[in-house]
A and B are shown apart, each in its own frame.
Chain A
Amino acid sequence: MAIAGGNVWWKKLAARDTLPVFVARGRDSATAEHRFFSRGGARRVDSPRHAQVLLVAGRVPENLHNALHQVHDQLPHPRISVWWGSAPPESLRDIALRVSDDGSVPAPADLTARLFAADYRSEPDLLSDQPPAPWRGRGDHGQGGEGMMGGKPFGRPMAMTGFDLRDGLQLDRPRLTVGPFFSALPAGLSLELELQGDVIQDIRRCHPPFPPDRHLLEAFLGVHSEPATIARLERLRAAFHLHHLAHYLRLCGLSALARRFMRVADGMLGGGRPKSLAPLRKAFLRSAAIRATAPGFGQLNDVLLHRIRGPARRAAGDQGDLHREALPGSEFFPARHAKAGDLRARLWQWLHEAEAACALATRLEGSPAESPAEGVAVESPVGRIAAPLSFPDADPHLEPSAQFKSLLEGMEWQEAMLFLASFDAVALRQLLGVVESAAADCPGEGEVQ
């Protein structure tokens, strides 16, 4: 391969390293992400500044395109973007790679060769090269800029002072929007925050997280029309919960353990049949990841608890589980319950339910596919669902519910990140106050009950 600048030894060494890829997750991004990384040779990085490839996985709604272009421009040169599920913008039509679900997947080695090639012209910026507030020069009397601070360094005003929630101390409160493609937040969640130090003082507006992957929920949602084996459904459930636990572990910094959880989860999605998840439970216990927060942290008040469903609600002591009713013939013993309702309880609930689902799948391996009776709700990994849901694209400037604001305000940054990671996407949307609607072609109750 002819490398730009000559075939020098350090460039050849760099070309042999794993390819750093930043993943911008859109809706239904899990397939794209999994298929891209399953072959090896690429690694996920948490910042576009460390990446050479931008993988746009899933469909990014129109109103988030500006944010996506912003992230694209932050990758250093030479860069290339792979669009899987979305259409690249006009200016990149000839350079960027477009992948469809049934097409060929570019191998990391090919991408490296392309990037290092002598004649490769790196992707141009998508946003215009204008500073946010151009310097207007000094005035006639030597003044410049505006306000007490004497100008806007680098085009942005300095943060103004305000009262701290903790003790009324009046220091600066910078504002920022942690956007939809931030790796520490659930995919699609964007929050406009006001901070003081690392404590969240105020949340102005938000964009709710993207709903769970369609193909993952479709197996549960469509079980009325298309019968499925209990083993398959339970493995999907276990994989769903293990994915969330893996994300939490990655936030704690335990990326090797997170990859292990992901590998087991992806294996189950692909048809693998692990006998039990006891080794994962042991590793989870030993890692002490559960102790990243204090016991009792992250409890929801009653009002919010009534809004959510699924494992998050069961972790607070609610006993509802429809296994026995929905799929006749399966003798299901309910998963062990966490009762405290705090963050630790929600994580334990995920682990218990994943283990119980895996055990049930192993026990009922050979049972035939069946469908529940008409109109009976099915317990999906996010709660009881009686009819298919459609999750329309949300407005990026939603006002979050007052209850949600009161939860997060006053939390330190790391606590807030871990707190948000302890809910699945549907529960988080319900907490934020997003109303889910029934699918257009399905009359009747479409809510998660």
Chain B
Amino acid sequence: MDATDFTDTGRFPEQILLLFFIAALSLAFAATMRGLNGPQPPASEPQKVPFLGGGGPPTHAWSRYHVRYYSMTLLFIAFEMEMMFMYPWAVVYLREGGKALMEMGMFLGILSVGIFYGWREGIFRWQ
């Protein structure tokens, strides 16, 4: 197995053209569906108000709010990257034997310091 097994340089232009053709077809289909209703009048000012059951929005809806799950996300990303390193390790683990096990154990140990830190900081407390 080498790099040439994954290229198919002979048919490259045709494949790109096919992709563009499919994209153009989807665009044409969507445009047709959109235009089926015929010409519509532009939305008037009262129609642009967001639906609130009759109430008014005195401020804009573009507002910043906190992403409350960010600590979960950070933890997930960290251990996802750890998993990424474990995938190639799993492939060669049987061949390498006990040394590989100890090395991975040290790696996991270092990363678990992160878990203990988070635990003490209270990221596992559900709000």
Binding site for B on A (CB under 8 A): 4-5, 10, 24, 47-49, 64, 66-68, 70-71, 73-74, 76-77, 125-132, 152-154, 156-160, 164, 166, 169, 171-183, 185, 190, 192, 196-198
CB distance B53 to A67 under 8 Å?
Answer: yes
- Contact flag A125-B55 (CB < 8 Å), given A171-B66, A174-B63: no
CB distance A179 to B57 under 8 Å?
Answer: no
Query: Once bound together, how far apart are the Cα atoms of A190 and B66, in whole Å?
Result: 26
- Contact flag A68-B54 (CB < 8 Å), given A77-B41, A158-B60, A176-B59: yes
CB distance A179 to B52 under 8 Å?
Answer: yes
Which parts of B26-82 form the interface with A (CB within 8 Å)? 36, 38, 40-41, 44-49, 51-66, 68
Give the top 6 A-B pairs by smallest Cβ distance, nearest first: A67-B54, A182-B53, A177-B55, A179-B54, A179-B55, A179-B53
Contact of A74 among B46, B60, B66, B127 (CB under 8 A): B46
Closest to B40 in A: A77
A176 neighbours in B (Cβ, 8 Å): 52, 55-59, 61
A198 neighbours in B (Cβ, 8 Å): 65
A182 neighbours in B (Cβ, 8 Å): 52-55
CB distance B53 to A178 under 8 Å?
Answer: yes
A67 neighbours in B (Cβ, 8 Å): 53-55
Query: Once bound together, how far apart are the Cα atoms of A115 and B55, in whole Å?
Result: 28
Other than A76-B47, A156-B59, give 8 A-B pairs with Cβ distance below 8 A: A74-B47, A77-B40, A125-B44, A128-B45, A171-B65, A176-B59, A179-B52, A197-B65
Binding site for A on B (CB under 8 A): 36, 38, 40-41, 44-49, 51-66, 68, 127
CB distance A129 to B51 under 8 Å?
Answer: no
18 contacts between A and B (CB under 8 A): A47-B51, A73-B44, A73-B47, A77-B41, A153-B60, A157-B60, A160-B59, A166-B127, A169-B66, A173-B63, A174-B63, A175-B57, A176-B59, A176-B61, A182-B52, A185-B53, A197-B66, A197-B68
Contact of B65 among A47, A76, A160, A172 (CB under 8 A): A172
CB distance A159 to B51 under 8 Å?
Answer: no
CB distance B51 to A172 under 8 Å?
Answer: no
Query: Once bound together, how far apart are the Cα atoms of A20 and B48, in whole Å?
Result: 20
CB distance B38 to A5 under 8 Å?
Answer: yes
B49 neighbours in A (Cβ, 8 Å): 70, 74
A172 neighbours in B (Cβ, 8 Å): 63-65
CB distance A159 to B63 under 8 Å?
Answer: yes
Q: Is the interface of B mostly helix, strand, loop or mixed?
A: loop
Query: Once bound together, how far apart are the Cα atoms of A424 and B62, in whole Å?
Result: 34
Q: Is the interface of A mostly helix, strand, loop or mixed?
A: loop
- Contact flag A192-B55 (CB < 8 Å), given A77-B40, A171-B64, A174-B60: yes
CB distance A180 to B54 under 8 Å?
Answer: yes
A160 neighbours in B (Cβ, 8 Å): 59
CB distance B68 to A71 under 8 Å?
Answer: no
Which of A68, A73, A174, A190: most chain B CB closer than 10 A? A174
Query: Once bound together, how far apart are the Cα atoms of A67 and B49, in whole Å?
Result: 12
Closest to B39 in A: A5
A196 neighbours in B (Cβ, 8 Å): 65-66
Query: Once bound together, how far apart are the Cα atoms of A68 and B64, in whole Å?
Result: 30
B37 to chain A, nearest CB (A): 8
Query: Once bound together, how far apart are the Cα atoms of A77 and B40, in whole Å?
Result: 8
Query: Once bound together, how far apart are the Cα atoms of A77 and B64, in whole Å?
Result: 34
CB distance A178 to B65 under 8 Å?
Answer: no
Contact of A190 among B45, B54, B61 (CB under 8 A): B54
B53 neighbours in A (Cβ, 8 Å): 67, 71, 178-183, 185, 190
B59 neighbours in A (Cβ, 8 Å): 156-160, 174-176
CB distance B62 to A153 under 8 Å?
Answer: yes
Query: Once bound together, how far apart are the Cα atoms of A181 and B51, in whole Å?
Result: 10
A126 neighbours in B (Cβ, 8 Å): 46
Closest to B43 in A: A76
A411 to chain B, nearest CB (A): 14
Query: Once bound together, how far apart are the Cα atoms of A283 and B46, in whole Å?
Result: 43
A129 neighbours in B (Cβ, 8 Å): 44-46
Query: Once bound together, how far apart are the Cα atoms of A156 and B60, in whole Å?
Result: 6
CB distance A64 to B54 under 8 Å?
Answer: yes
- Contact flag A156-B64 (CB < 8 Å), given A77-B41, A131-B45, A182-B52: no
Contact of A125 among B38, B46, B127 (CB under 8 A): B46
B57 neighbours in A (Cβ, 8 Å): 156, 174-177
A190 neighbours in B (Cβ, 8 Å): 53-55
A94 to chain B, nearest CB (A): 20
Closest to A199 in B: B65
Closest to A24 in B: B54
Closest to A191 in B: B55
Contact of A164 among B61, B63, B66 (CB under 8 A): B66
Closest to B68 in A: A197
B2 to chain A, nearest CB (A): 53
Closest to B57 in A: A176
Contact of B36 among A10, A66, A128, A192 (CB under 8 A): A10
